[in-house]
Structure 1
Amino acid sequence: MGTPLGDFIRAKRDSTQPESLGLPDRGRRRSPGLRRLDLAARAGISVEYLTRIEQGRDRNPSVAVVNALADALSLDPSERNHLRYLTKITGGECSAHTRPAPPRRDVRPSVLETLRLLEPGIAIVTNRLGDILAHTSGYESVTSGTGLLDADTPNLTRYIFTDPRARTFFADWDDVADEQVFDLWRAPSIENSEWFTSELAPTAGPDFTRRLNRHVVPQRGALRLNHPSGCELRLIRETLDLSSDAQQLVVFLPADERTAQAVDQLPRRSPSQLRAIS
């Protein structure tokens, strides 16, 4: 049985062309990407050891080995952080006996007050699973008519993969889908992530499970939205991690003057009706 760490290393190896690392073309290969032999040689480890890591038979490689693999695959800083995180959770999987369960949904009063001060701006409190726990009236105006907030407990990840309207609303749906799946690896706990993915996978289908196993580290550029009113919105996201709560405060800022004017013209309800969803 594989592990998140092994899956990521194998996925990166399969997607890395030898020529990009200055390696000679050894002719036709059985599978795409970098050979195990070449990666092991670049990392200074044996092919047998690399195979054990990829197949999940070795769950605790040393820091030196992890860094050597990162160097051998020429990972960028974001990918290196993800590799270290997967190493951490893979090593702890054997001792994780907590029953999978959903995360807490309550938001601290001081966080809600911070959100209230951001009115009439566009902001939400969420977690890595995509649960929308509280939002401003500005966020509601931007998502009005899309169905995102229709559920009693709205979840952005579930919406993206199960509601057909999401593919129209998000102009760069593929990129947003990659972002949401990647964030599941940073869920409040491994147990939370297991609970959510097992619940969502049957309805989300292969589009979801395929992305989950690819470990694509997203770039997170400007968010482009096709609002039902007919205007396109471009928003920059600023995220404040609320690490003690395993939550995030995300503020959306217009990326250009055209978006700022369009947002100002959207109808919105009274800011005093800030909504916390428990």
Structure 2
Amino acid sequence: MGTPLGDFIRARRDSVQPESLGLPNHGRRRSPGLRRLDLAARAGISVEYLTRMEQGRDRNPSVAVVNAIADALSLDPAERNHLRYLAKITGGECVAHARPAPPSRDVRPSVLETLRLLEPGIAVVTNRLGDILAHTSGYEAVVSETGLLDAGSPNLTRYVFTDPRARTFFADWDDVADQQAFDVWLAPSAESSEWFSTELAHAAGLDFTRRMHRHLVPKRGVLRLHHPFGCELQLVRETLELSESAQQLIVFLPADEETAQAVDRLRRRRHGRLRAIS
């Protein structure tokens, strides 16, 4: 049985073209990308050790080995961080399997006060599972009539993969789907595994699990939205990690004047208030 760490290393190895690293192309092969032999040589480890890591038979590589593999694969900073994170959670997978408590949906009063100060801007508090925990009236105006907030406990990941309206609302749905699937890895591992196995995997199906296990570190550019009211929105995202809560505050800023005017029209349609969902 493989591990997230082994899956990621194998996926990145398969995606690397040997010539991009100055290595010879050995011709047609059954598997794409870089050979284990070449990666092991570049990282200064044995092929046998690399094989054990990829197959999940070695779960505790040293920091030096992890960094050597990152160098050998020429990973960018985001990919390096993900590799280190997977090494950390893979090494801790052999703990006792107590049933995990559900992730907290409580938002600290100081965070709610920060949201109030951001009114009437567009801001939301989520966790890495995609639960929408609190938001400003500006956020509600932007997602109005999309179905995202219709559920009693709205969840962005579930919405992206199970609500047909999401494919129209998000102009770059494929990129957003990759982002939401990737973020599940960044949730507390026991909690995300429980939620994934009992709820999301069943609802979202194979597309979600395929994206999740592909370990593609997403590029988070401008968020483009097709609003049901006919507005075309382009929003820049600023994400602030909230310490000790595994939550994040995301602020959305209009990327151009047309979006700013459209957001202002949407706000005038809805005179909502700050909403915390618990």
Please name the residue that 2:228 is paired with.
228
Please name the residue that 2:189 is paired with.
190
Mapping for residues 1-278 of structure 1, pairs under 5 Å: 1-187=1-187, 189-198=188-197, 199-266=199-266, 267-270=268-271, 273-278=273-278
Q: Distance in 1 between matches of 2:134 and 2:144?
A: 15
Give the alignment's Cα RMSD to 1 decimal: 1.1
* C-alpha displacement of 1:96: 4.7
Q: Distance in 2 between matches of 1:215 and 1:102?
A: 24
* C-alpha displacement of 1:268: 4.5
CA offsets 1:80-111 (integer angstroms, 9 cap, x no match): 01000000010111125331342000111111
**TM-score when normalising by structure 2:** 0.97
* C-alpha displacement of 1:122: 0.5
* C-alpha displacement of 1:30: 1.2
CA offsets 1:127-174 (integer angstroms, 9 cap, x no match): 000000011111111001100000000000000000000000000001
Secondary structure of residue in 1 paired with 2:111: helix
For structure 2, the 5+ residue unaligned runs are: none
- Percent identity at matched positions? 81
Q: Distance in 2 between matches of 1:102 and 1:176?
A: 25
**1:204 aligned partner, one-letter code:** A
Q: Distance in 1 between matches of 2:132 and 2:140?
A: 11
Secondary structure of residue in 2 paired with 1:229: coil
* C-alpha displacement of 1:183: 0.8
**TM-score when normalising by structure 1:** 0.97
Q: Distance in 1 between matches of 2:269 and 2:87?
A: 45
Q: Distance in 1 between matches of 2:159 and 2:96?
A: 29
Q: Distance in 2 between matches of 1:246 and 1:205?
A: 25
Q: Distance in 2 between matches of 1:129 and 1:96?
A: 23
Point out 4+ residue stretches in structure 1 off by more than 3 angstroms: 267-271
Q: Distance in 2 between matches of 1:201 and 1:100?
A: 17
CA offsets 1:48-107 (integer angstroms, 9 cap, x no match): 100000000000011111111001101001100100000001011112533134200011
Secondary structure of residue in 1 paired with 2:244: helix
* C-alpha displacement of 1:27: 1.2
Corresponding residue pairs, total = 276
